Structure 1
């Protein structure tokens, strides 16, 4: 079935993609899967409480996909249970050239399951 789906139909275009809870599990897997679908100069914003795991994920994604499609991978260490963490994440998103993006995706995976 996947052979029937063309690459173009799976292309997300140039996007700002924010994944919360990105450092492990489902969020980490999504980060890898979406990385290969984003067009050049897209922004993949990884949000989680643990900066060490986020930075490792960023390195892994850039090694696999970043050089190929000029993917801008950004890490935001934030605890989204706290207002300050939400504000930090929103501010980081605002610093992106949102008007130049085809899509804005928010995958809210923070605190879903451990």
Structure 2
């Protein structure tokens, strides 16, 4: 996936795909659900780096996720958090208190 964001604070921000595509109420964690991890694999940190001008152009790759089939990420949400992704936020203990700064529903652009 390719993306670009504008208007964020400089530094590292966690970015993850979440199970549900319900982004109402500023991407509330109880609406977007947990990180989407259909294979229940331990995953590395997933961050983007925002430059001093508040922008980030990024490419995310994941060999286990798909755009088709039963484990497709189409219709799920992608969430960028205020804080970097780390072990504490990844294991779900902080998933209900995270502060999303940007989010969207994943779709295809053909």
Q: TM-score, normalised to structure 2's length?
A: 0.31
More helix by share: 1
More strand by share: 2
Q: TM-score, normalised to structure 1's length?
A: 0.30
